[in-house]
Amino acid sequence: MQMTTDPSAPWLIVGLGNPGPGYAMNRHNVGFMVADLLAERIGGSFKRSGRAQAQVLEGRIGPAGPGSRRVVLAKPMSYMNVSGGPVTALRDFYKVPTANIVAVHDELDIDYGTLRLKLGGGDNGHNGLKSMTKAMGSDYHRVRFGIGRPPGRMQVADFVLKDFSSAERKELGYFVDRAADAAEALVIEGLERAQSAYNS
């Protein structure tokens, strides 16, 4: 699982979530929140792709000049459990190496707001990752955004499809900002440097 050595190859940063206003503030949609912030930083807006069931934005991140990286931001507009199809279509259209794909997603087994960056691995029951891995293998990067475990006997499916609590929302903006920073660092500086800076 080597990162691409071609600096001109584009990166595909995929925020995972479910489409529609009813899901917008769900814990499961934190990937969309990070993608929206990255789009804001680039200074563009998402547009419906003619190539895949997704909203996309092309741009560059990083310092001006040779240090910048070409990126495609994407929000699959399929539902979470069939994200793999749109991501694979975008990968093929933009000719993105699988190792240059970054999935930004919620993670149950990490405390709220904690980040973990990694390359490859299992899906840990996450339906978006499960669909992506089934479609193209597991050798893509992940920015894992901790949401913690459900309280008491609440079912996982109910927990992830609920909005962040009022207490969580007080810090949500800060954590989403940090996750966007981590995704940018991963693309610009590489996995190891980004891990040392953001894995906590």
What DSSP string runs through 76-134?
E-S-GGGTHHHHHHHHHHHT--GGGEEEEEEETTS-TT-EEEEES---TT-HHHHHHHH
DSSP 48-68: E-SSSSEEEEEEEESSSSTT-
Cα–Cα nearest to 40, from 175, 170, 168, 177: 177
Considering 28, 105, 126, 141, which one is annotated as catalytic?
28
d(CA 1, CA 55): 28
CA distances from 185 to 112, 150, 194 (A): 21, 30, 5
DSSP 18: -
Residue in this structure with the two tokens 């499960």, named with its chain if needed: 130
Token pair listed for 41: 């930083």
Q: Does residue 28 carry a catalytic annotation?
A: yes
Packed helices 166-189 and 191-198: angle between N→C axes, nearest 10 degrees: 150
**What positions carry a catalytic annotation?**
28
